[in-house]
Amino acid sequence: MNRKVAFLFLGETLLIPHLYPIVEALAAAEPELPIELWVSTSMHEALLGGWSEMLPSVRIRRAPGFRTLTGYDDGRNPPVPAKLPTLLRLLPNLLRTPVVVCAEQTSLWLPAMVPLRTRFIDTFHGAGSMMARGHWRRRAGWRTLVAAERDRQALIAGGDAPERVCTTGYVKAAFRQRTPATRLFADTKPVILYTPHWQAHRSSWWTWGPAVVERIRADGRYNLIFAPHQRLVERAPELRAFVAGLAGAAGVHADLDSFAMVDGSYTAAADLYLGDTSSQVVEYMMRPRPCVFLNALRAAWRSDASYAMWEAGDVVESLDALIPAIDRAPIRHDDYEAFQRAFVQTALGDVSGLAPARAAAIVLEALRR
């Protein structure tokens, strides 16, 4: 078996920032170690290839079923080949690879169903939501990497062996390839990020969304990034026309597709977060700043754990209260900063940027064994 490591970039763009910082950390720790990045589309190839030009040990490999695409230069989420057939055709290559690193569950069907000497390491993606993370095929990996100790304890409670689950901190916090805020707006007005959730029962979009955008525009004192969850447009196809109507509007940057939707560019660029229940707020609070939340559905939120993040800022109960809440948010922020720091620590663990190095050390341990 060759001494090398493979990283699987076979899925959605949102997985890339959770995985690529580990590539960089591993290349820095072991400059002579061959690292293969298996990609499923030309969009993945272009992004990763550009970033990896200065990493001589990193090689981009086209996975079976690789798709050459046009019109995806902005890094928007491409149509990817079906993952299971891709993985099965990729298996002969992976059998010659001692360690494979992935950021999604589908790849773990291989060690779950086929007896392999190859050690799979799975790193969680997402911001503080456990969801279906206890699926049995996760246990087929050699190690599972999680951001926070809360996640580790949840997996152990679900049956994972404690030695299998490693807490690294939040890998995406170290992702460097973002769009600088200076490229978004020509002036220095405060930047509001509005990120409505994609599920109707949790979202402000269908009740208040267009009015929220128009009221901020009409006020004129703020720049607005309108970047909802990527899946909102699936449920609300009228979004395409709405965003098209904002084209060229002063003080508005609207995005439904680009890589900046998932790489942390917008949460990093904003001065104020405006939303409902999107998990993007957790990444935003890695650097504590003002938040305002929209209770468009009149939720009884104080008794519902799904709304725990609403303790991080004022909650707006009517549209008429929107602009006043935005105006006072910077003044009120001191009341919420301690909660934001504690919430991020619980949800994401260490966000100092050291997580990729910890993950890389676990990869090297797998190689040594």
Report pLDDT digits (tens) over 70-111: 988 878 889 999 999 999 999 999 999 999 999 988 999 999
pLDDT at 139: 84
Q: Which of 288, 292, 302, 293 is nearest to 334 (CA)?
A: 288
Q: Indicate the domain borders of the chain.
A: 5-170+350-368, 181-348
Report how far residue 227's alpha carbon sits from residue 245's, in angstroms, rounded to the nearest whole number. 15
pLDDT at 137: 78
- For 3-13, what is each residue's pLDDT tens digit? 999 999 999 99
The gap from C-alpha 110 to its chain's centroid, in whole angstroms, comes to: 24
- What percent of the chain has pLDDT above 70? 96
Tell me which of 34-38, 226-230, 268-272 is least confident: 226-230
What is the widest separation between alpha-carbon atoms in the chain? 66
Report how far residue 322's alpha carbon sits from residue 91's, in angstroms, rounded to the nearest whole number. 54
Report how far residue 238's alpha carbon sits from residue 230's, in angstroms, rounded to the nearest whole number. 14
pLDDT at 85: 95
181-348 in CATH: which number?
3.40.50.2000
Q: Which residue has the higher pLDDT, 1 or 241?
A: 241
Report how far residue 90's alpha carbon sits from residue 38's, in angstroms, rounded to the nearest whole number. 9
**Helix residue ranges per DSSP H, 95-238:** 109-113, 149-157, 205-219, 232-235
CA distances to 17, 215, 226, 266, 366 from 229, in Å: 16, 21, 10, 12, 36
Quick one: tokens of 225? 């990034």
* Contact yes or no for 279/197 (Cβ under 8 A): no
pLDDT at 210 exceeding the cut of 70: yes
Region 206-218: what's the mean pLDDT? 96
Residue burial 92-110, b: 16+ Cβ < 10 Å; e: rest: eebeebbbbbbbbbbbbeb
Q: Which of 76, 106, 85 is nearest to 8 (CA)?
A: 106
pLDDT at 132 exceeding the cut of 50: no
Report how far residue 342's alpha carbon sits from residue 272's, in angstroms, rounded to the nearest whole number. 19
pLDDT at 307: 93
Q: 10 Å Cβ neighbour count for 19?
A: 25
- For 281-330, what is each residue's pLDDT tens digit? 999 999 999 999 999 999 999 989 889 999 999 999 999 999 999 999 99
pTM of the model: 0.92
Residue type at 282 in one-letter notation: V
Report how far residue 297's alpha carbon sits from residue 286's, in angstroms, rounded to the nearest whole number. 27
CATH of range 5-170+350-368; options 3.40.50.2000, 3.30.2420.10, 3.40.1390.30, 3.40.50.300: 3.40.50.2000
Q: Hey, do 5-170+350-368 and 181-348 end up sharing a CATH topology, with the first three levels equal?
A: yes
pLDDT at 181: 66
pLDDT at 123 exceeding the cut of 50: yes
pLDDT at 133 exceeding the cut of 70: no
pLDDT at 130: 45
All residues at 6 or more sequence positions from 298 whose CB lies less than 8 Å from its CB, including other chains = 317
* Contact yes or no for 21/112 (Cβ under 8 A): no
pLDDT at 127: 63
pLDDT at 38 exceeding the cut of 80: yes
pLDDT at 254: 95
pLDDT at 135 exceeding the cut of 70: no
